[in-house]
Amino acid sequence: MKVIAQTAALQDALALAGSIVATRTPKPVLQCVKLVASEDTLTVMATDLEVGCRYRITSVKVEEPGEALIPAARLAGIVREATGDESLTIETDKEACVISGAGSRFKLFGYDPAEYPAIDEFPGQADFQIPAAVLRDMISKSLFATAKAHSHYAISGVLWEASDKKLQLIATDGHRLAQAKGALASPVSGSVSAIVPAKLMSMIMRVSSEEDQLDVKLDENQILIHTPHVTMLSSLVQGNFPKYGDVIPKESNRKATINTNEFEHRVRQAALLTNEESRGVRLSFEADTVTLSGHGPETGEAEVKCPIAMEGEKVEIGFNPAFLTDALKVVDTDDIVMEMSATNKPAVMKSGNDFLYVLMPVDLG
């Protein structure tokens, strides 16, 4: 194999591949990327056996087709240190790979490419299409609410539900629930539902540009996402996702409309003097003001006020301030609506018609 490629294109490909390859594994080949050169394309492949990608670079000159299997971190380091407008020549010598640039030459020892696991190509026909900008916005409004601890339980992923020309993503960690909705570019035949790993959704955020239309294919155990340059795939999370419809309050008797930026600022202020033992911030909703207060046994007390438009009787309720700001910083409307029914019942935050956030209260004693 002998290929001449632009450094910037290689850097983009290896940045994505590097987010996939296993850092600790008894199988050295899983710490590698596979390079396949054919016709006028260099394909960079990576997998950890659950998530994988095929990144196609067309800004290359293929002088000799072939394959190579090279340690990802070493190759990424070499490419990262090359100058941005420089071209790099990559050629194989048995299981070694030589990378040459302006005034530099590196020889990396790799492995037999035949040892690398197969990574599926996109099968052709998509189940549905969605604008990348729409999906990226939906991911930003849901991914943060997944369970952070590494597990194979259903709540470690995000539930995708698609029907007709609508897609919704639902994520929860047991203390909160985020629901984001968006419009598809093409209708779904019937309906589809799957729990998608957080790792793949983070990858989508990294590679999709504003202009990209994403093709999505779901089968029983796998999801594939296809863009003009990248195919990403992942095993689906197995298990039963919680019945999220039972968690979303059906009605409330109190509703507060609040400026998003002002509310986020006040929540951060009220949280300044909280500590690990007193993580909650108390919110006292009245006719035209919400008073936010936080304290720590050894730090002191904070009290700030924020103007609101209140419907219903006053109420006092406590929340984890980090959970509030997680949602407020992804909201893209000027105002949010908080719906509440009682001090010890979940509250609902809404932003327009496409974002809903359920938040369990904390006991402030």
- Residue 84's pLDDT band (cuts 50, 70, 90): low
- Residue 254's pLDDT band (cuts 50, 70, 90): very high
Q: How many CA atoms lie within 13 A of 249 on its CB side?
A: 22
pTM of this structure: 0.92
CA-based nearest residue to 135, from 40, 241, 52, 223? 223
CA-based nearest residue to 72, from 15, 8, 1? 15
For residue 332, the cross-strand partners are none
Supply the pLDDT for residue 95: 86
Contact 312, 322 (CB under 8 A): no
- Residue 152's pLDDT band (cuts 50, 70, 90): low
Mean predicted confidence (pLDDT) in 135-153 = 87
Amino acid at 248: I
Mean predicted confidence (pLDDT) in 166-172 = 97
Cα distance between residue 108 and residue 83, in whole Å: 19
Work out the mean pLDDT of the chain and round it to a whole number.
93
Contact 156, 237 (CB under 8 A): yes
| pLDDT above 60 for 150 | no
- The CA-to-CA distance between both ends of the chain, in Å, stands at 68
For residue 130, the cross-strand partners are 214
Mean predicted confidence (pLDDT) in 153-171 = 95
- For tokens 């003001």, the residue is 289
- Residue 76's pLDDT band (cuts 50, 70, 90): very high
Report pLDDT digits (tens) over 181-228.
999 998 998 899 999 999 999 999 988 766 689 999 998 899 999 998
- Structural domains of the chain in order of their starting residue, each with its CATH number: 2-115 (3.10.150.10), 128-245 (3.10.150.10), 248-359 (3.10.150.10)
Report pLDDT digits (tens) over 331-360.
999 999 999 999 999 999 999 999 999 999
Report pLDDT digits (tens) over 281-330.
999 999 999 999 998 888 899 999 999 999 999 999 999 999 999 999 99
Supply the pLDDT for residue 275: 78
42 sits in which H/E element: strand 41-47
Cα distance between residue 226 and residue 232, in whole Å: 6
Mean predicted confidence (pLDDT) in 65-91 = 92
